[in-house]
Structure 1
């Protein structure tokens, strides 16, 4: 009888079969778009659209023709007219809040340079200030609003 070439093979295979399998933990963020079902892809698109809509929910025109942004518990509307800057303060239900006790600083980018404009109460729900240069219709920057209670919030205008 000829000697078998792979004589120890059966024993090795039996040992491998008896060895317990190592279970790999699932990868949490390993997303393979090609293997996803149509429903999962649809849900992912809906989630991204909903998130982007919520993120830009306050990029809207206000009652006074300016842009509305969220600043803490307030909504603020920024209106620029030539070199004059006005900030209207409302609550979350768009009801005007008296501007007495409020103060604000607007830091805007105009022609590539930073402009700092102090805003003081100038009406019932209005803070106003004057810039040293002409402002664009839709200024970009940040408004830092300090309320009568001393708390400071910020609103970003893109």
Structure 2
């Protein structure tokens, strides 16, 4: 009995990290992922060099981007592309990739909040 309960507990705990970081559709047409315990980020790309990242809190409410900055590290056609993200209006950070970025890109977004806290989302 105890072994079965222990095995079930381990299986459930093992499933949570995989689920928590799995990309899911965001409200702006991109993919949204967890970025630490208190943030979510949505990455929106459309085959151009323009990259937009939307910021949310843990309850999926928009977080103002004013004072935030960030970095993008994306793997595009087998090459790593690194560029900065700057605050735009609302809950958006924007940046320009050196090359066009298609939906489904893999990589990471780092966000630095005005108080110096960092959050990282992996796609």
Instruction: Give the TM-score normalised by structure 2.
Output: 0.83
1 or 2, which has the higher helix percentage?
A: 1
Report runs of 4+ in structure 1 exceeding 6 Å deviation. Answer: none
Q: Relative contact order: is structure 1 or structure 2 higher (C-alpha 8 Å, sep ≥ 6)?
A: 2
Report the alpha carbon displacement of residue 68 of structure 1 after superposing the two structures with TM. Answer: 1.4
Paired residues in the alignment total 120
Alpha-carbon distance in structure 2 between the residues aligned to 1:61 and 1:100: 24
1 or 2, which has the higher strand percentage?
A: 2
Q: Which runs of 5+ in 2 are unaligned?
A: none
Instruction: Give the TM-score normalised by structure 1.
Output: 0.66
Report the alpha carbon displacement of residue 131 of structure 1 after superposing the two structures with TM. Answer: 1.0
Provide the secondary structure at the position in 2 that maps to 1:99. Answer: coil
The answer on 1:147 being equivalent to 2:110 is no
Report the alpha carbon displacement of residue 142 of structure 1 after superposing the two structures with TM. Answer: 1.2
Alpha-carbon distance in structure 1 between the residues aligned to 2:77 and 2:2: 47
Q: Deviations 1:30-81 (Å, cap 9, x if unpaired)?
A: xxxxxxxx99569736743652244223421111121112223211111112
Alpha-carbon distance in structure 2 between the residues aligned to 1:138 and 1:39: 43
Alpha-carbon distance in structure 1 between the residues aligned to 2:34 and 2:20: 9
Asked which structure has the greater CA Rg, the reply is 1
Alpha-carbon distance in structure 1 between the residues aligned to 2:45 and 2:93: 12
Hey, what does 1:69 align to over in structure 2? 33
Alpha-carbon distance in structure 2 between the residues aligned to 1:63 and 1:86: 13
Q: Paired residue for 2:70, among 96, 104, 120?
A: 104
Hey, what does 2:87 align to over in structure 1? 121
